[in-house]
A and B are shown apart, each in its own frame.
Chain A
Amino acid sequence: MSTKRLIGIFAIGAATVAVIAIAGLVFSTMGTFLVKGLPNITWQLLSEAPRNNNTEGGIFPAIYGTTLLVLVMSILGVPIGTITAIYLNEYTRAGAVMPRVIRFAVNTLAGVPSIVFGLFGLGFFVQFLGVGLDKTFGNTEAIWAKPALLWASATLAALTLPVVIVSVEEALKNVPQEMREGSLALGATRWQTIWKIVLPNSTTGILTGSILAIGRSAGEVAPILFTGVVYSLPQLPDGISSQFMHLGYHLFVLSTQSPDVDKTLPLQYATTLVLLMLTFTLNFAATFIRSRIRSKQFR
């Protein structure tokens, strides 16, 4: 047997072992959370606010905040991502300068550490847009120029833009060219063709994109750290300029910011499990929808 083949076999073997080891670790960790978290998931946990320094009560405000956050993020990010994907896929020719610049920017965006997004959000949304808004409306006290649900959502939308763009583009590519030609040959404009033929056949892709984006961002703490999250709130957020609580951040607070960390342990397990289930369900849903699109027949 040649040395080359031996090295090859060794490399594959090592990689297999590593994958199995990592998967084992991940699953055993999740198993732990499942075993220790499940008994603590009660109606009280899901419906009540934290009490007594986070050692009692539930995590409802954090669930509520996380949900609102990803909702507003989707409302902001999905249309922008969809429009970008349409522009890249329907309006530009392969090899032109503009789409290449945009693609490069999107790919770069995908590689930026999430804490940098947080700083960007603080600098751009809070301190630039927010201050600008307050000045424009002549607000005497800061309404927009402070961390808020809107800015945190916008930051997450920027973070997840690449995911949305890639998903929607994939769906657009799945619409056969003949379908577009059929429409154009009937005297439809390019925009009519997109609106009436291409988009209706890409809705599943757009949906997948949003779910993946939500799944990717629901647990992200770094981007919202400076842009809107707080560790405790007297009441639920009442608008997009309010601050909010968040599951991931709450976990951090429970495990490091409590005078008696041991007392918060059951809550920590439960919170982690809720967060994990949320992310997993979303990712699973996206994968499922995506496999459905792939097998969908256009004849």
Chain B
Amino acid sequence: MSKKITETKIEANDLCVYYGAKQALHRISIDLFEREVTAFIGPSGCGKSTFLRSINRMNDLVPTARVTGNLYIDGVDIYHSSVDVVELRKRVGMVFQKSTPFPKSIYDNVAFGPRLNGITDRTELDRIVEESLINAALFDEVKDRLDSSAMGLSGGQQQRLCIARAVAVNPSILLMDEPCSALDPISTAKVEELILELKKQYTIVIVTHNMQQAARVSEYTAFFYMGHLVEYDKTRKIFTNPSKKETEDYVTGRFG
């Protein structure tokens, strides 16, 4: 078996994020690898979401947020003034903690992104919708009711619909902010299975409070604490033999 070559997809360099006067992230430097799942763990308020949301510049929506340092995707500094945020977000998909299907039909939810990109041809849209739903392991459950409202789906189905919606625009990165925190164990297992499947195509960054989940789905884990990146390593190493005391305390459940 040939050894997999890991390439850097996302690179942060002294990235700091402030909300007003409050600094939420302190000089984060990290390389996230292509077609790998990286988990972000750490106690509440340590800045996991903040970092995740700086990767697709969702923090731009927070009026008080300010970013310094650099963040490169495929070598391009995404905070450079020449970068089109709208284009960036098409390449960096995001799945939120609270599943947020639009109050439209299942079909229209998935077709939303492709339509933004100007795809109007019905057969083309049909193909994308089907493919995305298959990729999100949802197609079999909804194929007979694509035209019914997405609001009628269960929580787990809604979350997978949001994943389908995100992959429908064909991004290369998928950011997931606690995608399973509102789901029951069966739905969680389905989404985790899905993540392992999706990693063949996408670079995935997932925020989770669930240590077992991080251990199950990720290859690399980054531990954040009070706005600092404390430790970043292979997941196995983080959970069995961390080099920092804070990491050990956290993963063994002594705090957080």
Interface of A with B (CB < 8 Å)? 93, 176, 178-179, 181-189, 192, 196-197, 201, 297-299
B190 to chain A, nearest CB (A): 19
Identify 11 new A-B residue pairs, CB closer than 8 A, beyond the known A176-B100, A299-B151: A182-B102, A183-B112, A185-B166, A186-B113, A187-B86, A187-B116, A187-B117, A187-B169, A197-B102, A201-B103, A297-B151
In the assembly, what is the distance between CA of A143 and CA of B90, in Å?
A: 54
Ordered by A's residue number, 10 sampled pairs between the chains whose C-beta atoms are within 8 Å are A179-B102, A182-B101, A184-B61, A185-B89, A185-B96, A186-B166, A188-B112, A192-B116, A197-B102, A299-B151
Kindly list chain B residues whose C-beta atoms are within 8 Å of the C-beta of A201.
103
- A183: contacting residue among B102, B151, B158, CB under 8 A: B102
Kindly list chain B residues whose C-beta atoms are within 8 Å of the C-beta of A183.
102, 112
B111 to chain A, nearest CB (A): 11
In the assembly, what is the distance between CA of A192 and CA of B100, in Å?
A: 17
A196 to chain B, nearest CB (A): 7
In the assembly, what is the distance between CA of A196 and CA of B89, in Å?
A: 17
Interface of B with A (CB < 8 Å)? 56, 58, 61, 63, 86-87, 89-90, 93-94, 96, 98, 100-103, 112-113, 116-117, 151, 158, 162, 165-166, 169
Contact: B112 with A196, CB < 8 Å? yes
Kindly list chain A residues whose C-beta atoms are within 8 Å of the C-beta of B93.
185-186
Inter-chain contact total with CB atoms closer than 8 Å: 58
In the assembly, what is the distance between CA of A194 and CA of B56, in Å?
A: 20
- B61: contacting residue among A181, A188, A297, CB under 8 A: A181
In the assembly, what is the distance between CA of A201 and CA of B104, in Å?
A: 10
**B63's closest neighbor in chain A, by CB?**
A93
**A189's closest neighbor in chain B, by CB?**
B86
Contact: A182 with B162, CB < 8 Å? yes
Q: Which 5 A-B pairs have the closest CB atoms?
A: A187-B90, A185-B94, A182-B100, A178-B100, A186-B113
In the assembly, what is the distance between CA of A176 and CA of B101, in Å?
A: 11
Contact: A186 with B103, CB < 8 Å? no
A70 to chain B, nearest CB (A): 31
Contact: B58 with A185, CB < 8 Å? yes
**A176's closest neighbor in chain B, by CB?**
B100
Kindly list chain B residues whose C-beta atoms are within 8 Å of the C-beta of A186.
89-90, 93, 112-113, 116, 165-166, 169
A181 to chain B, nearest CB (A): 7
Kindly list chain A residues whose C-beta atoms are within 8 Å of the C-beta of B158.
299
In the assembly, what is the distance between CA of A299 and CA of B90, in Å?
A: 24
In the assembly, what is the distance between CA of A177 and CA of B58, in Å?
A: 12
In the assembly, what is the distance between CA of A188 and CA of B87, in Å?
A: 9
**A93's closest neighbor in chain B, by CB?**
B63
A122 to chain B, nearest CB (A): 43
From A179, A188, A189, A192, name the one whose CB has the most chain B CB atoms within 10 angstroms.
Answer: A188
- A184: contacting residue among B89, B101, B162, CB under 8 A: B89
In the assembly, what is the distance between CA of A195 and CA of B55, in Å?
A: 26
In the assembly, what is the distance between CA of A201 and CA of B86, in Å?
A: 23
Contact: A187 with B87, CB < 8 Å? yes
- A178: contacting residue among B98, B117, B151, B165, CB under 8 A: B98
A242 to chain B, nearest CB (A): 43
From A181, A186, A196, A298, name the one whose CB has the most chain B CB atoms within 10 angstroms.
Answer: A186
Known: A189-B86, A197-B102. A184 touches B96 (CB 8 A): no
In the assembly, what is the distance between CA of A183 and CA of B116, in Å?
A: 10
Kindly list chain B residues whose C-beta atoms are within 8 Å of the C-beta of A188.
86, 112, 116
Kindly list chain A residues whose C-beta atoms are within 8 Å of the C-beta of B98.
178
Contact: B96 with A178, CB < 8 Å? yes
Known: A186-B90, A187-B89, A188-B116. A181 touches B96 (CB 8 A): yes
In the assembly, what is the distance between CA of A297 and CA of B169, in Å?
A: 28
Kindly list chain B residues whose C-beta atoms are within 8 Å of the C-beta of A176.
100
In the assembly, what is the distance between CA of A86 and CA of B116, in Å?
A: 21
B95 to chain A, nearest CB (A): 9
Kindly list chain A residues whose C-beta atoms are within 8 Å of the C-beta of B166.
185-186
A280 to chain B, nearest CB (A): 32
Kindly list chain A residues whose C-beta atoms are within 8 Å of the C-beta of B101.
182
**B109's closest neighbor in chain A, by CB?**
A182
Known: A196-B112, A197-B102. A181 touches B89 (CB 8 A): no
B168 to chain A, nearest CB (A): 8
B57 to chain A, nearest CB (A): 10
**A92's closest neighbor in chain B, by CB?**
B63
In the assembly, what is the distance between CA of A71 and CA of B116, in Å?
A: 35
Kindly list chain B residues whose C-beta atoms are within 8 Å of the C-beta of A182.
96, 100-102, 162, 165
Kindly list chain A residues whose C-beta atoms are within 8 Å of the C-beta of B100.
176, 178-179, 181-182
In the assembly, what is the distance between CA of A189 and CA of B116, in Å?
A: 9
A231 to chain B, nearest CB (A): 50
